[in-house]
């Protein structure tokens, strides 16, 4: 079996539509919406193709009209795009986001997976980089071989013991990568093997759509820089979530 794992699409349909990897199942680790210009096409695509989906903090924000609890550096971007996203999504789209589970456990072949957007103890908002020692306690009561998370926008694979058991996998962000490269990030699990992967997509098309958004020009420009560079504007605190 081949599973493609994606996360943090953030309304970037150009990145999503450019995914050419074949798969038996598509899994999504949340944050379908906000920051990007095309949340509705992203939801349509994921709703029709994904086998397993969990809710991210931005999905939760739109579905329940709540604060996504972003860091101060991202607060204006999140609020401006939240208002836009809320205005263009249908009631059905918002219900879809509300209905997504916060976490889920599934088994494929002989492998047990646990999926959430952030961390098991705080699946919407917790922030924990892959090398953080907190992962040892985060997974100790999780009945899974592989814990799948997103939220940081940084791809990572970590084994928590010397035998390679209890792995934590973050595929990185498909729609708003923060790796110093504009390429969309994702992961593949196939017959017990894991690979972190990336691919180019028409970034300038996505930037043009961001620049056409009915939001503050400064916010449009910052979002465009992130897409073009795969980097965070200098004032951002990298230890905080988006």
Mean pLDDT, range 154-161, rounded to an integer: 88
Mean pLDDT, range 227-233, rounded to an integer: 91
Annotate 25-63 with b (16+ C-beta within 10 A) or e (fewer). Answer: bbbbbbbbbbbbbbbebbbebbeeeeebbbbbbbbbbbb
Instruction: Please tell me the pTM assigned to this model.
Output: 0.94
For residue 127, being part of any structural domain is answered with: no
For residue 83, being part of any structural domain is answered with: yes
For residue 120, being part of any structural domain is answered with: no
- Position 136 confidence tier, pLDDT thresholds 50, 70, 90: confident
Q: How confident is the model at residue 35, as a pLDDT?
A: 97
Task: Count structural domains, the chain.
Answer: 1
Q: How confident is the model at residue 79, as a pLDDT?
A: 96
Q: How confident is the model at residue 22, as a pLDDT?
A: 98
For residue 152, being part of any structural domain is answered with: no
Contact 153, 242 (CB under 8 A): yes
Contact 176, 35 (CB under 8 A): yes
Residue 162 has pLDDT above 60, yes or no: no
Q: How confident is the model at residue 237, as a pLDDT?
A: 39
What range does the domain containing 46 cover? 2-104+172-229
For residue 60, being part of any structural domain is answered with: yes
Tell me, what CATH number does 9's domain have? 3.60.21.10
Query: DSSP string spanning 84-135?
Result: HHHHHS-HHHHHHHHHS-SEEEEEETTEEEEEESSBTTBTTT----TT-TTH
pLDDT averaged over the chain? Answer: 93
With a pLDDT cut of 90, the percent of the chain lying above it is 85
Q: How confident is the model at residue 235, as a pLDDT?
A: 64
Q: Residues near 237 by Cβ (< 8 Å), separated by ≥ 6?
A: 71, 72, 73
Residue 164 has pLDDT above 60, yes or no: no
Is 213 exposed, middle or buried, given 0-12, 13-18 or 19+ CB atoms closer than 10 A? middle
For residue 150, being part of any structural domain is answered with: no
For residue 156, being part of any structural domain is answered with: no
For residue 43, being part of any structural domain is answered with: yes
Mean pLDDT, range 204-228, rounded to an integer: 97
Strand, coil or helix: 52? strand
- Position 12 confidence tier, pLDDT thresholds 50, 70, 90: very high
**Residue 27 and residue 30: Cα distance in Å, rounded?**
9
């Amino acid at each position: 079996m081949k599973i493609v794992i994606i996360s943090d699409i953030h309304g970037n349909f150009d990145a999503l539509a450019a995914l050419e990897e074949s798969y038996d199942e598509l899994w999504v680790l949340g944050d379908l919406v906000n920051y990007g210009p095309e949340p509705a096409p992203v939801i349509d695509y994921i709703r029709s193709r994904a086998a397993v989906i969990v809710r991210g903090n931005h999905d939760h924000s739109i579905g329940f009209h709540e604060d996504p609890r972003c860091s101060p550096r991202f607060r204006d971007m999140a609020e401006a795009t939240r208002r836009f996203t809320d205005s263009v999504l249908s009631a059905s789209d918002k219900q879809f986001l509300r209905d997504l589970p916060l976490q889920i456990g599934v088994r494929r072949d002989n492998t047990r997976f646990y999926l959430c957007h952030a961390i098991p103890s705080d699946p919407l908002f917790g922030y924990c980089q892959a090398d953080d020692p907190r992962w040892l306690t985060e997974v100790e009561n999780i009945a899974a071989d592989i814990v799948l998370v997103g939220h940081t926008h940084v791809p990572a694979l970590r084994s928590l013991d010397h035998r390679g058991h209890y792995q934590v996998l973050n595929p990185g962000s498909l729609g708003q990568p923060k790796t110093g490269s504009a390429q969309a990030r994702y992961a593949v699990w196939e017959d017990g093997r894991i690979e972190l992967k990336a691919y180019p997509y028409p970034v300038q098309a996505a930037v043009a759509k961001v620049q056409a958004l009915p939001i503050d020009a400064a916010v449009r420009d910052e979002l465009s820089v992130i897409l073009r560079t795969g980097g965070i504007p200098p004032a951002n605190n990298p230890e905080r979530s988006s």
